[in-house]
């Protein structure tokens, strides 16, 4: 069964949506819109009746909300309504701040973060979870092997909880031609990559589905815009089918 992102052109690229229960990473450089598109996916799901959790590891949750409302002013009233009805929870940051105040992160401390995410999922019966940005874990966990184990643990826990999750991660470059995928990207069921090309005000945004296990998907690199009412993805596929 496919879980629709609610973003019409993206669902067309996915030939209907993300396979239910899969764990997907959205990777891109600064300014590509990783946080915003993952927030919109959660918002669209909540609007359709699927409660969701946005867990911010890096940014204060209040700033995540402010940025989303500023980027999508047409959706502000609906976002506020979903939050008030606990169909959409934006949380996190506090345990990350505690981890940042110490040295290298232990498995116990990382486990506390996972326990908090699990508690939030149970509170509202969430079946969609966003973790933004998982890249901070590479800064908090210095040992490469421990970092990779933690990422695998995170993915396995999401699978155990039977949620569909989106994790955002930073790319080292916004340019498609220079992009190199880190080994940890391939532990995910799916990879969506977001690019920026050009210079100054003439920069063009585009996205590509690198992989999505167990389902067909578009292989076309597709332009997109961020509008006051959400993402507009100019898919080559027939959006009316999805």
**Residues 163, 73, 70, 82: what is their CA dihedral angle, to the nearest 10 degrees?**
-30
Angle, alpha carbons 94-96-98 (nearest 5°): 75
Calpha distance 207→217 (Å, rounded): 13
Domain that holds residue 20: 2-241
Question: Which pair of structure tokens corresponds to residue 86?
Answer: 């606990």
Can you tell me the mean pLDDT for 101-124? 75
- DSSP notation for 183-222: GGGGGSSEEEEEEEESSGGG-EEEEEEEEETTS----S-E
In the predicted structure, residue 119 carries a pLDDT above the cut 80: yes
The predicted structure's pLDDT at residue 103: 54
pLDDT for position 150 = 82
Contacts with 14 (C-beta within 8 Å, 6 or more apart), sequence order = 2, 5, 209, 212, 215, 217, 218, 242
pLDDT at 182 over 80: no
Please check the confidence at residue 173 and state whether its pLDDT lies above 70.
no
Q: What is the CATH number of the domain that holds 113?
A: 3.40.50.300
Does the reported pTM lie above 0.85?
yes
What 3-state DSSP class applies to 35?
helix
pLDDT digits (tens, 9 = 90+) for 32-63: 999 999 999 999 999 999 999 999 988 889 99
User: What's the pLDDT tens digit per position in 210-239?
Assistant: 999 989 999 999 999 999 999 999 998 988
Give every CB contact of residue 22 below 8 A, 6+ residues apart in sequence.
164, 189, 190, 212, 213, 214
pLDDT score at 222 = 95
The number of domains in the chain is 1
The reported pLDDT for the residue numbered 4 is 96
Q: What is the pLDDT of residues 74-84, one digit of tens each?
A: 999 999 999 99
């Amino acid at each position: 069964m496919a879980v629709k992102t609610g973003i019409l052109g993206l669902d067309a690229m996915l030939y209907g949506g993300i396979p239910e229960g899969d764990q997907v990473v959205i990777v891109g450089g600064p300014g590509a819109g990783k946080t915003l598109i993952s927030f919109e996916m959660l918002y669209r799901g909540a609007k359709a009746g699927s409660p969701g959790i946005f867990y911010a590891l890096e940014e204060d949750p209040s700033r995540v909300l402010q940025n989303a409302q500023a980027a999508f002013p047409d959706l502000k009233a609906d976002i506020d309504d979903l939050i008030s009805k606990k169909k959409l929870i934006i949380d996190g940051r506090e345990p990350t701040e505690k981890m940042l105040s110490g040295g290298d992160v232990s498995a116990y401390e990382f486990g506390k973060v996972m326990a908090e995410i699990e508690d939030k999922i149970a509170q509202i019966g969430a079946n969609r979870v966003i973790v933004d940005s998982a890249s901070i874990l590479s800064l908090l966990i210095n040992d490469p092997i421990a970092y990779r184990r933690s990422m695998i643990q995170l993915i396995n826990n999401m699978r155990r909880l039977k949620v569909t999750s989106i994790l955002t991660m930073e790319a080292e470059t916004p340019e498609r031609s220079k992009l190199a995928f880190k080994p940890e990207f391939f532990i995910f069921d799916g990879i969506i990559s977001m690019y920026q090309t050009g210079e100054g005000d003439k920069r063009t945004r585009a996205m590509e589905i690198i992989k999505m296990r167990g389902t067909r998907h578009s292989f076309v690199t597709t332009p997109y815009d961020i509008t006051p009412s959400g993402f507009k993805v100019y898919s080559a596929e027939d959006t009316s089918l999805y």
